[in-house]
Chains A and B, each alone.
Chain A
Amino acid sequence: MFRPLPDSSEGPTVTVFVEGQPVEAYVGETAASVLLRHLGTARTTSISESPRAPFCMMGCCFDCLAEIDGKGSTQSCLEPVRDGMTIARQMSARKVVAR
C-alpha cells in the first residue's frame, strides 16, 4: 500500500516486532504506519469482526487501535516507533482476561 521514497532508504531506522517478526521501521513513522505497510490492517472490529486499517492517522478515528508493547486499545497512529517496540493487531472485542 505504501512504499518509501527512493532517498529515505538512507534515513535512520529502528527494529520493531510486528506480531513477532522483526521489521525495519523509519524513524519518524508511527506504529500505525508500520501496520499499514506490513499487514495492511490494524484490527478487526469488536462487533462484526471485519478488518479495519488506520483511516485518519491523526488520532480522531480510532480505527488504528492496536496492541503496542502489550497494551491494548492504543491509538497506534500516536505512537512513534521505538527500537524494540512490539506491535500487534487487536482482534475483535478486548477480553477481560489476558490471553
Chain B
Amino acid sequence: MIFDTAIIGAGPAGMQAACDLRARELSVIVLDEQPAPGGQIWRGVERNCQPGSELAQRLGAEYRQGAGVARSFRACGADYRPLSRVWQIEETGPDATEQCWQVFVIREGQAEVVEARRVLLAIGAQERPVPFPGWTHPGVMTVGAAQIMLKSGGLLPEGPVWICGAGPLPLLYAHQLRKLGGQIAGFLDTAPRDTVRRGLPHLSGALRDWKSLAKGLAWQAGLRAAGLRRETGVRQLRAEGKDRLERIRWETPEGEKTAPAGVLLIHEGLVPSVHPTLSLQCEHTWSDAQQSLRPVLDAWGETTRRGLFVAGDAAGIDGARAALAKGTLAAVGIARSLDVLSEAKAKQARAAGDRALSKARATRPLLDTLYPAPEGKISDDVIVCRCEELTAGQIRAAAGRGSADPNRVKSETRAGMGPCQGRQCGYTVARLIAEAHDMPRAEVGFHNIRPPLKPVSVGELASLGKAKA
C-alpha cells in the first residue's frame, strides 16, 4: 500500500499532523522509535497520567496536556508503528509517474519498506553536546536523560546530585525533583551573569506569553525558597574520578570550587535533529540565535526537496506548543500539495496556524538571549568525539593542516564516523574548524551524512524484501 503520508516521530508535531491529515481522510502511517506516543516532552504520558497519579501532578499541567493529544492520536485512525527505527529515506526515480518516497524501517529485527506520497519528519531535537573534561565519565549524563528516567521508570537520581547548565529544562527538572522529594546538592548556572541587561530588549515581546514567563519565575522562586544552593557565572566545569564521577570542579568570578558528586546532570539547550534532512541533501541554514542548523522550509513546512516536510523542534527549537502549531501547518501544506485542499482554504488554515505559532514563539528570542550556547575555550585534552575518543587537540591539529572542510577532518581523524555519526561531535568539530581558520561558524557547514541513519545489522538487512509493510 502507498500511504498518502508517512510521519516519522510521534511527539507533539507528529501526533498533531497525523490527527489533522486523518481529519481530511488522508491515509497516514506514523513510525516512531519509542514504545508509546508522546515524544520526549510527553514521554510515558499515557502510563503516567492514569487517574490519581501523583507523578502526573508533579510533572505539571503542560505534561498532562499531552495525555489528551495522545488520546486523539490513538483514535485518529493513523497506522501507528511504535518501536520502529528509520534508517534510510529515498525518493523513487524521476521516471516514476507519481512522486513516491520509500522509508526503510527496522521493527522487531525485521527490515521493511514503507511507501508514501509525502514524508513528514517530526523528529524533534537533541540536547546540545558541549564537551568538558570528564564528560564521558559514568555518572555524567544530560538533564534530559535524567528526566526521561523519571518519566519512563519513575526514577530519581541520588547523590550528591548536581545540575549544571542553563535553560528552561534544568529549571523545570530541578522544580520537578524538589516536588517529588528528590535531593539536589546544587545548581550551577552557566548563563552569563548580565541577564537583565541582555534580556531587556526582548522582554516586551516575551510578555505576549506572560504566563510562561511567570511559570519560569515561579520555578526559580520555589528553588530559592527551598534553600537550593545556586552558583551563577559558572565556567570551566570538570568532572573528575577514576572509573566514574567522584567530584566536580568549577570556576566562578569569585574563584575555583570543588565538591563531591555522584551524579552530574548537564544541559546547554537543544539543537534540531537534522541527520535525515542532511542525508537527503536538503538545504539548511545556520541560526545565529540558536547556534545550530535547521532545514530551509517554505511557508508550508516543505523542505527544498519536493514532498518532504519538517515540523516541530526539528525545524528550529520552539517548544511543544509551537510544535503542535507546526504540525497543523505541515498537515495543511501536505493536504494542499496532495490537492485535497483548495488554495483559498489552505491560506485560511495557514493564517490561523501562523497566529498560534507566533504566540507560542513569543518567549523564544528572550530565551535564546538569556541562555546562549557556551563559547568557552575547549582545552586540548578534552574528548570531543565520544565514539572515536578524539580530543580537541587532535581535531585542532587536523583542522589546521588543510582546508576548512568538515569532511576532510572527518576522513583524517574519524571524528563523526563512530556509531553516533557525529550527533555528539559534529557541531564541536565545525566550531574548532571555524576557530582554526578564523571564519564564521555558518560558513563551515557540517560533514556529509551517509546511510544508514541508524545502525543496521547484516541479518536485518538480509530480511529486507521478505516483507513489505
Q: B-contacting residues of A (Cβ < 8 Å)?
A: 1-8, 11, 26-30, 33, 36-37, 40-41, 45, 47-48, 50-63, 65, 71, 73, 77-78, 80
Which of B90-98, B249-257, B342-350, B419-427 sits within the interface? B419-427
Contact A57 B153 (CB under 8 A): no
B 28-80 contacts with A by CB, 8 A? 33-35, 40, 44, 47, 54-55
* A48 nearest CB neighbor, chain B only: B389
Contacts of A6 in B (CB 8 A): 181
Q: Report which B residues bind A (CB closer than 8 A).
A: 33-35, 40, 44, 47, 54-55, 83, 85, 126-127, 136, 138-142, 144-146, 148-149, 152-158, 180-181, 243-244, 262-263, 273, 386-389, 418-420, 423-424, 454-455, 457
A76–B415 Cα distance when bound, in Å, is 23
Contacts of A58 in B (CB 8 A): 40, 126, 144-145, 148
Our pick among B139, B142, B144, B153 for the contact of A26 (Cβ within 8 Å) is: B153
A56→B419 contact, CB < 8 A:
no
CA distance A11 to B55 in the complex (A): 12
A59: B residues at CB distance < 8 A: 33, 454
Task: Enumerate chain B residues within 8 angstroms of A65, measured Cβ to Cβ.
Answer: 419
Are B455 and A61 interface neighbours, CB within 8 A?
no
Q: Which of A4, A8, A27, A55 contacts B140 (CB 8 A)?
A: A55
Is A73's CB under 8 angstroms from B142's CB? Answer: no
A52 touches B155 (CB 8 A): no
Bound-state Cα–Cα, A45 to B140, Å: 16
Chain B residue at minimum C-beta to C-beta distance from A55 = B141
A57-B386 Cα distance, complex, nearest whole Å: 15
What chain A residues lie within 8 Å of B139 (beta carbons)?
1, 40, 53
Chain B interface mostly helix, strand, loop or mixed?
loop
Between A and B, 30 residue pairs with Cβ closer than 8 Å are A1-B139, A1-B262, A1-B263, A2-B156, A2-B157, A5-B54, A5-B154, A5-B155, A5-B181, A6-B181, A26-B154, A28-B153, A30-B152, A33-B149, A51-B244, A53-B138, A54-B141, A56-B145, A57-B141, A58-B144, A60-B126, A60-B273, A60-B420, A61-B386, A62-B420, A63-B136, A65-B419, A78-B33, A80-B35, A80-B83
Q: Which residues of B contact A54 (CB under 8 A)?
A: 141, 145
Among candidates A3, A62, A78, residue contacting B155 with C-beta atoms closer than 8 Å: A3
Closest 7 pairs (CB-CB, A-B): A29-B153, A8-B154, A53-B138, A57-B145, A62-B419, A2-B155, A57-B148
Contact B144 A56 (CB under 8 A): yes
Are A53 and B156 interface neighbours, CB within 8 A?
no
Q: Is the CB of A29 within 8 A of B155?
A: yes
A47→B418 CA distance, assembly (Å): 11
Complex: chain A residue closest to B48, CB-CB: A28
How close is B374's CB to chain A, nearest CB, in angstroms? 18
In the assembly, what is the distance between CA of A37 and CA of B146, in Å?
12
A39 to B318, CA, bound (A): 37
Task: Name A63's closest neighbour in chain B (CB-CB).
Answer: B386
CB distance from B134 to the nearest CB of A (A): 11
Question: A30 vs B389: C-alpha distance in the bound complex, in angstroms?
Answer: 26
B157 CB contacts on chain A under 8 angstroms: 1-2
CB of A72, distance to nearest CB on chain B (Å): 9
Q: How far is the CA of A45 from the CA of B127 in the complex (A)?
A: 22
Q: Complex Cα distance A51/B139, Å?
A: 11
Instruction: Given A40-B138, A51-B244, decide whether A73 and B455 contact each other with a Cβ distance below 8 A.
Output: yes
CA distance A26 to B151 in the complex (A): 12
Which residues in B have their C-beta under 8 angstroms from that of A53? 138-141, 244
B154 touches A11 (CB 8 A): yes
* Among A50, A55, A57, contact of B149 (Cβ-Cβ < 8 Å): A57
Q: Contact: A4 with B154, CB < 8 Å?
A: yes
